């Protein structure tokens, strides 16, 4: 018997350690190392051994995640450090106001700003003592919350025993309990089979589950946890938030992903606006971003109001959801051949507009979310981002419809489609694809490119579909008679278009480089190349090393430009443009006056301008040798201020920087002293 007991004890320890490591790999590192079936077999074996030898079961055994006996009620717990709410903002200007307030409270100090995802779940505080999870509490009213320890123990991604050697005596982490969309889909399928009502969203499930008295039910909900903050601690040393998160991760606690830190507030704002466009890639709900000071000492200095900390703000996103039917999946071909799937929807009201299409982004998203034509889907619109599909309502799926098969050949030209080396995007690489050519011709005519007025989408389609324009050379060879042969094309419209095409010949090299769709070359890169090389012949003659040595031109861009210049397509395109009389030299617009009034100066533009668009004034600054910056600092030489200039103007005034109106700016670049 003693041998059986000894063997059981060794096996229990072995299985417990293995399962904890599997949980860490799966939930924290997102790198599962065994199948679900193998995991379940080990967990059942451990549970059987603990049932046979109950006194050998550890208090932090992985089997505790399966739930204990139901409680009679939830106890009330007072937070040792209050869990205050966060001030909310919905506009970029309000976010800027937060930065301004913070800077005034910390005059002259350098600051770093952390940007985190605001996970849409339920806030909780989890306490470890000597490495063991001892208590978990909801936020409640900020002072007192509900004891939910029994349910928090069921979260497989959260360690009941901390990892590593440097275990703090007391560690209280704050964070968000949440559910993934994939797990909600699975849960609703199970509930539909059992005849139970489905859950509407992940937050409602989480909020209800975490307060259940029966932890066995909570354990079936597959809830998870992300740490994003610190409560009362003893024995953990960190001077800033990023360092704290690193130490917490080393202890085995999952932290909010994709956290970034910035020294420049303008970069932080730009990151906020950019990351909103990538939220569809996440499998959990996010209702905004959190911006906070990185320094814990500066946070202590700022303190709190009666309701909120002064060092943090939530930049929230207005989100709208609706359920509708996915009728079919179509594909669109971009100007570089990228094939983008688009969902055609049964029209539905969303944020005051009727939505009938939703972006599906790429084939991986369709596969990850298991989206199939005929499915009922949850469609979301967040901020200014086009609608996208959040998840499939699989419990409403009729039978087992076939999975969507991404085309292997271009739906427009029947060429073979090729997956990118990165494995995300699929492209048509045919140079004769009419769908690509339509998109390229449309882009060629836009304002920042060759600026051909009248060459819009409908006319481009006519020109391409009639095979009247199969190249840029054909565009410049158009005649009045040929144009008037098109449907609904009058003489005056045709004459105006020909005038616009003729005028485009003088736009200059940077406009041409932007217009002809070289991969990785946009307006800014085109200007840099035009100023460096002066004309197309010099650029074509340059070797890869010379192109790559250009300031701001990295190796990927350099290789793309070099490959284009030496490809059959590139050589033929340049020949056609030369033959058509298109200027392939730097234009006055691209020229830089390094002796001008702005040579070597740093200029920030802020507020609403009357005479110039933002692109136009920045282009003019660069033409006169100046450098455009996004934020005001001691190194700023001038600030050009329009109406409603805001915090940048205030900072410039406090630093004694010269402020220019539009008229004063014009006078300065004309070598006249500003009044």
Residue-wise pLDDT for 83-128, tens only, equals 988 888 888 888 988 998 999 999 888 899 999 999 999 999 999 9
142-187 tens-digit pLDDT: 899 999 999 999 998 899 999 888 899 999 999 999 999 999 999 9
Indicate the fold that domain 88-316 takes in CATH: D-amino Acid Aminotransferase; Chain A, domain 1 (3.30.470)
Residue written as token pair 């660069």: 622
258-313 tens-digit pLDDT: 999 998 888 888 888 888 888 888 899 998 999 999 999 999 999 988 778 999 99
0.85 surpassed by pTM: no
329-379 tens-digit pLDDT: 999 898 888 999 999 999 998 877 888 999 898 888 899 999 999 999 999
Q: Which residues pair with 535 in a beta bridge?
A: 585
Task: Report, at the CATH architecture level, how domain 434-506 is classified.
Answer: Orthogonal Bundle (1.10)
399-425 tens-digit pLDDT: 889 999 999 999 889 999 998 776 678
Is residue 580 classed exposed, middle or buried when 0-12, 13-18 and 19+ CB atoms within 10 A define those classes?
middle
Do residues 652 and 605 lie in contact, with contact meaning Cβ atoms separated by under 8 Å?
no
Indicate the fold that domain 602-669 takes in CATH: Rossmann fold (3.40.50)
- Residues with a catalytic annotation lie at 118
Average pLDDT, the chain: 88
Q: How confident is the model at residue 673 (pLDDT cuts 50, 70, 90)?
A: very low
Indicate the fold that domain 326-396 takes in CATH: OB fold (Dihydrolipoamide Acetyltransferase, E2P) (2.40.50)
Do residues 319 and 382 lie in contact, with contact meaning Cβ atoms separated by under 8 Å?
yes
Q: Which residues pair with 288 in a beta bridge?
A: 316
Question: Treating both helix axes as pointing N-terminal to C-terminal, what angle do 92-105 and 265-275 enclose, rounded to 10 degrees?
Answer: 150
**Alpha-carbon separation of residue 336 from 232, 472, 517 (angstroms):** 54, 16, 7
Q: Given a cut of 50, is residue 138 above it in pLDDT? A: yes
Q: How confident is the model at residue 26 (pLDDT cuts 50, 70, 90)?
A: low
In this structure, are strands 76-78 and 144-146 parallel, antiparallel, or unpaired? Answer: antiparallel
User: Which phi-psi region, left, alpha or beta, contains residue 527 (left: φ > 0; alpha: ψ -120 to 50)?
Assistant: alpha
Fold match, 2-66 / 88-316: no
Segment 621-630 mean pLDDT: 78
Class for the domain spanning 509-580: mainly alpha
Q: Which two tokens stand for residue 485?
A: 């042969």
Q: Which two tokens stand for residue 272?
A: 């906020």
Cβ contacts of 60 within 8 Å, gap of 6 or more: 132, 133, 160, 161
Distance of alpha carbon 618 from alpha carbon 605, whole angstroms: 8
Distance of alpha carbon 433 from alpha carbon 339, whole angstroms: 12
234-262 tens-digit pLDDT: 988 899 999 999 999 999 999 999 999 99
Q: How confident is the model at residue 69 (pLDDT cuts 50, 70, 90)?
A: low
Distance of alpha carbon 31 from alpha carbon 157, whole angstroms: 12
CATH no. of 2-66: 1.10.287.610
Q: Which two tokens stand for residue 122?
A: 């339920």
Segment 567-582 mean pLDDT: 95
Return the domain boundaries, the chain. 2-66, 88-316, 326-396, 434-506, 509-580, 602-669
């Amino acid at each position: 018997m003693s041998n059986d007991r000894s063997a059981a004890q060794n096996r229990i320890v072995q299985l417990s350690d293995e399962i904890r490591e599997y949980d860490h790999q799966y939930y924290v590192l997102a790198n599962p190392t065994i199948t679900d079936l193998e995991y379940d077999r080990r967990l059942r074996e451990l549970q059987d051994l603990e049932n046979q030898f109950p006194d050998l079961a550890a208090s932090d055994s992985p089997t505790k995640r399966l739930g204990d006996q139901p409680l009679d009620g939830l106890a009330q717990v007072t937070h040792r450090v209050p869990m205050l709410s966060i001030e909310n903002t919905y506009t970029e200007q309000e976010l800027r106001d937060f930065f301004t307030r913070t800077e005034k409270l910390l005059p002259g100090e350098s600051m770093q700003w952390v940007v985190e995802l605001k996970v849409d779940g339920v806030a909780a505080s989890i306490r470890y003592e000597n490495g063991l999870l001892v208590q978990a509490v909801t936020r409640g009213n900020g002072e007192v919350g509900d004891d939910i320890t029994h349910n928090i123990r069921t979260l497989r991604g959260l360690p009941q025993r901390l990892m590593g050697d440097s275990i703090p005596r007391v560690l209280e982490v704050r964070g968000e309990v949440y559910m993934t969309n994939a797990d909600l889909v699975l849960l609703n399928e199970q509930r539909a089979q059992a005849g139970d009502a489905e859950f509407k969203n992940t937050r409602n499930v989480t909020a209800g589950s975490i307060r259940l008295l029966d932890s066995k039910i909570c354990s079936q909900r597959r809830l998870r946890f992300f740490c994003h903050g610190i409560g009362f601690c003893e024995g953990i040393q960190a001077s800033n938030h990023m360092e704290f998160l690193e130490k917490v991760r080393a202890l085995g606690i999952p932290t909010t992903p994709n956290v970034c830190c910035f020294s420049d507030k303008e970069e932080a704002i730009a990151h906020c606006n950019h990351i909103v466009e990538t939220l569809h890639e996440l499998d959990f709900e996010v209702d905004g971003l959190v911006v906070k000071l990185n320094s814990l000492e500066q946070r202590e200095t700022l303190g709190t109001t009666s309701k909120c900390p002064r060092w943090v703000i939530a930049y929230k996103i207005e989100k709208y959801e609706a359920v509708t039917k996915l009728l079919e999946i179509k594909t669109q071909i971009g100007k570089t051949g990228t094939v983008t799937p688009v969902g055609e929807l049964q029209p539905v009201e969303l944020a005051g507009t009727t939505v009938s299409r939703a972006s599906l982004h790429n084939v991986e998203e369709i596969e990850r979310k298991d989206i199939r034509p005929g499915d009922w889907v949850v469609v979301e619109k967040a901020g200014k981002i086009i609608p996208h599909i959040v998840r499939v309502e699989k419990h409403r799926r009729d039978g087992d419809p076939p999975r969507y098969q991404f085309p292997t050949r271009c739906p427009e030209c029947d060429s073979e489609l090729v997956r990118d080396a990165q494995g995300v995007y699929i492209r048509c690489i045919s140079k004769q694809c009419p769908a690509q050519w339509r998109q390229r011709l449309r882009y060629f005519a836009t304002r920042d490119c060759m600026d051909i007025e009248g060459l819009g989408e409908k006319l481009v389609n006519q020109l391409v579909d009639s095979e009247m324009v199969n190249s840029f050379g054909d565009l410049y060879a158009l005649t009045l008679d040929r144009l008037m042969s098109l449907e609904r094309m009058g003489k005056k419209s045709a004459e105006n278009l020909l005038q616009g095409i003729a005028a485009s010949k003088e736009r200059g090299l940077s406009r041409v480089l932007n217009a002809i769709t070289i991969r990785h070359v946009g307006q800014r890169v085109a200007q840099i190349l035009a100023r460096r090389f002066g004309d197309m012949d010099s650029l074509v003659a340059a070797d890869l090393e010379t192109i790559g040595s250009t300031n701001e031109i990295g190796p990927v861009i350099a290789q793309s430009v070099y490959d284009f210049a030496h490809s059959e397509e590139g050589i033929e395109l340049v020949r056609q443009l030369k033959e058509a009389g298109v200027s392939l030299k730097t234009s006055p617009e691209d020229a830089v006056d390094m002796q001008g009034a702005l040579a070597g100066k740093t200029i920030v533009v802020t507020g609403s301008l009357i005479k110039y668009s933002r692109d136009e004034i920045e282009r003019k600054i660069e033409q006169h040798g100046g450098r455009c910056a996004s934020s005001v600092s001691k190194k700023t030489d001038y600030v050009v201020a329009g109406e409603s200039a805001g915090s940048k103007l205030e900072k410039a005034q406090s630093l004694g920087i010269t402020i220019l109106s539009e008229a004063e700016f014009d006078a300065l670049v004309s070598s006249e002293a500003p009044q």
